Amino acid sequence: MAPGGVYKLLASLVVPRPIAWVVSRSTKGHLNAAPFSFFNMLASDPPVVGVGFGMHSTGADKDTYTNIIETEEFTVHIVTEETAEAMNITAVEAPHHVNEIELAGLTLAPGVAVKTPRILESPAALECRLLQTIQPGRTSKIILGEVVYAHVLTSAFSDLEKLNMDVHAIHQIGRMQGGLGGGYTRTRDTFDIPRPVWKERS
Ligand SMILES: Cc1cc2nc3c(=O)[nH]c(=O)nc-3n(C[C@H](O)[C@H](O)[C@H](O)COP(=O)(O)O)c2cc1C
């Protein structure tokens, strides 16, 4: 199949996808924000996240990818119903020097473990250091990042000591296939299935 068809098929099937709202900076200090839904947590010890990049329509690398290669760090924000509009503004394919964070009217706070700042309007941010890059093909690039520091709104926890989070506190959104009127989904319609326990039969 042609790559465009493969993208359409997989992006319609593998849903909902979490969205990494990535802030990165170049060695010259230019800041950048953009969303990436080829994203997930891949390990917890050490904590590792993965982000998949395509190319710009011009054939150039995405600025986020270039910045992460340059400075070896980035910050991932969890996208919510409240920050969805601002996230969408930062998806504009602007020239390298344009700061999409200013464009979306967002506020920055300094990073703790990395020099890249985080978006204060976001209820959760993961500071990451570049761990590995994988290039499975000419136009696809994957970045693995180790999460070295996490910021989470304390009001999101039902029990902070036990690290129990209220699943309905943050209103995360997911990326659906897009295009045909189903771009995003809310995550409020949750349900439980008790996990079966294997009991040896005598
Ligand atoms: C919800 C959403 C998810 C996206 N996911 C990806 C993705 O996984 N990979 C990718 O290369 N581009 C993705 N894009 C497109 C980039 O955000 C867009 O190309 C952006 O301009 C890249 O910015 P940069 O060049 O400043 O890094 C997505 C856009 C949106 C709105």
Q: Does residue 70 have a pLDDT over 70?
A: yes
- pLDDT value, residue 103: 93
In this prediction, residue 200 has a pLDDT band, given cuts at 50, 70 and 90, of: confident
Q: Is the pLDDT of residue 179 over 70?
A: no
Cα–ligand 1 centroid distance for 53 (angstroms):
8
C-alpha of residue 13 to centroid of ligand 1, in Å: 18
Mean predicted confidence (pLDDT) in 131-145: 96
Which ligand 1 atom sits closest to the C-alpha of 54?
11
Q: Indicate if the pLDDT at residue 161 is higher than 90.
A: yes
Tell me the C-alpha distance between 166 and 157, whole Å. 5
Report the pLDDT value the prediction gives residue 129, as an integer from 0 to 100.
98
Terminal alpha carbon distance of the chain: 52
CA dihedral angle for residue 83, residue 120, residue 146, residue 130, rounded to 10 degrees: 90
CA atoms of 185 and 177, how far apart (whole Å):
10
For 175, counting Cβ atoms within 10 Å of its Cβ (0-12 exposed, 13-18 middle, 19+ buried), the class is: buried
Name which residue leads in pLDDT, 96 or 93.
Answer: 93
Cα–Cα distance list, 44 to 47, 147, 148 (Å): 4, 9, 11
Distance 91 CA to ligand 1 centre (A): 6
- Please check whether residue 132 is in contact with residue 141, taking contact to mean a CB–CB distance below 8 angstroms: no
> What is the predicted pLDDT for the residue at 181?
62
Using CA atoms, how far apart are residues 11 and 52, in angstroms rounded to an integer? 12
pLDDT at 163: 96
Site to substitute for ligand 1 among 17, 25, 32, 36, most atoms within 8 A of C-beta = 36
d(CA 28, CA 17): 32
What per-residue confidence (pLDDT) applies to 95?
81
- Residue 147 is predicted with a pLDDT of 99
pLDDT band at 160 (very low <50, low <70, confident <90, very high): very high
Q: Provide residues with CB under 6 Å of ligand 1.
A: 19, 32, 34-38, 52-54, 62-64, 88, 91, 93, 175
Measured CA distances, 176 to 11, 108, 184 (Å) = 7, 28, 5
Averaged pLDDT of the chain? 94
Q: Which of 34-38, 108-112, 178-182 has the lowest mean pLDDT?
A: 178-182
> What is the C-alpha separation between 127 and 151, in angstroms, rounded?
8
Q: What angle do CA 79, 84, 85 make, to 5 degrees?
A: 150
Q: Which atom of ligand 1 is nearest to the CA of 62?
A: 25
Complete domains list, the chain, with CATH: 11-186 (2.30.110.10)
Q: What percent of the chain has pLDDT over 90?
A: 87
> Rounded to an integer, what is the distance from CA 162 to the centroid of its chain?
25
What's the whole-number mean pLDDT along residues 49-70? 96
